Structure 1
Amino acid sequence: MVIKKHFLNILRWGLRLHGAGHFIEVVSAISEEAYITAIIALIFIAIEILASFFIPNEHIHFKPLKSKVHSDCDEQNEENN
């Protein structure tokens, strides 16, 4: 499925664009002399940009208590055999 294959890449770029969008907020806050708001927006920029680079490339099975992370489902099946 094309969407599933490219979902993480789309998510990464979405986070980067959203982080860049916060830059407009920073400029606006500085022009209004709302320096605390500008600092908070800068923190969110850093979090979103860093998160976009640290999203894993592995395959993840989400479970309530502990998620399983591995490269591929076939890899996990080989380990169990």
Structure 2
Amino acid sequence: MFKRNLLEILRWGLRLHGISHFIEVVSAIGEGAYITASIAFFFIFIEILASFYLPKEHIHFKPIKSAVHKECDDV
């Protein structure tokens, strides 16, 4: 329950952080820093995309191969 809520908070945090980069883009364009604006826009895209592609499955992270499944019997 806690992990599921934590992932949802993480997803929304990434989305809000990505959207907040728009302020940086507008500021950079206003200053004429077009390279900085394009880099910030790229990170907006990456963060918002990552927020939608965070796994909804349950994952056991292991050094060699991680196990992915819908529900976990381990408590």
Q: TM-score, normalised by structure 1?
A: 0.84
Q: Distance in 2 between matches of 1:38 and 1:56?
A: 30
The aligned amino acid for 1:54 is: Y
Residue 60 of structure 1 corresponds to 59
Letter of the structure 1 residue corresponding to residue 54 of structure 2:
I
| Map of 1:79 onto structure 2 | none
Any residues of structure 2 matched to 1:43-54 within 5 Å, and which?
Answer: 43-54=42-53
Partners of 2:38 and 2:11 in 1: how far apart? 23
Structure 2 residues not aligned, in runs of 5+ = none
1:24 corresponds to? 23
Q: 1:56, CA displacement in angstroms? A: 1.1
Aligned residues: 74
Q: TM-score, normalised by structure 2?
A: 0.90
Distance 2:64 2:30 in 1: 46
Structure 1, unpaired ranges of 5+:
75-81
- The percent identity for this pair of structures is 73
C-alpha separation in 2, matches of 1:67 and 1:8? 18
Residue identity in the other structure for 1:16? R
